[in-house]
Amino acid sequence: MNVSCSEKVVAEPNVYEFISGVTPETVLDEETSKAVNEMKEKDPRVKAFFEQPIKTSRAIIPVAVAVALAAACAFITPVGSLAMALAAFASLWVFIYNLSATIVRQHYDFLTVEPAVGAYCISFLLVIGIAMDLAVIIKNYRLNKQKQKEENTQDHHPSESK
């Protein structure tokens, strides 16, 4: 995620920081962190504000689990992999959409939260995986249909098979 204040990116927390529970101050860049420290010295409310954690850890865990399960299911069945990849894709973007609302609810409404490059990369990889799963499912369906058609043809003409 990219976190911006007045259109300047001030933090780029990653998934590990979200899972561990970040405070706004821990993910700020050096320049912004210095400005925050000066503000904290002047006003105790600012200090309390920056020390409360951003509550996102429960929301990101399903995304991480869905991505891991999608990868594991790819070795078992394309249908399972397809389902988990779709779940991972949907949960990722639901998380990103809801994160902004979560931050505003916690009175961080001066911050703007947008997906970073990593979110787009994982989405692109999930879309490729979904397309590959669909291709395998369609190919297997067509092969099974062709095999059944050949078996039905042999059942109707037993003398030709001898």
- Size of the chain in residues: 162
- % of the chain surpassing 90 pLDDT: 1
Q: Pick from 104, 141, 144, 146: which is nearest to 3 by CA?
A: 104
- Look up residue 134 and give its two tokens: 């669909």
- For the entire predicted model, the pTM comes to 0.58
Name the pLDDT band for 157 (thresholds 50, 70, 90). Answer: low
Residues 123/88, Cβ–Cβ less than 8 Å: no
**Taking residues 7-32, what's their average pLDDT?**
70
Bridge partner list, 2? 114
- Check residues 60 and 95 and name the one with the higher pLDDT: 95
Question: What's the pLDDT score for residue 23?
Answer: 67
Question: What pLDDT, on the 0 to 100 scale, is given for residue 75?
Answer: 73
The CA-atom distances, in angstroms, between 77 and each of 45, 63, 64, 70, 123 are: 54, 20, 20, 10, 21
User: Residue 146 corresponds to which tokens in the numbers above?
Assistant: 């062709």
What pLDDT shows up at residue 160? 53
Q: What is the pLDDT of residue 38?
A: 81
Query: Mean of the pLDDT values across residues 36-54?
Result: 73
> Cα 9 to chain center, whole Å?
21
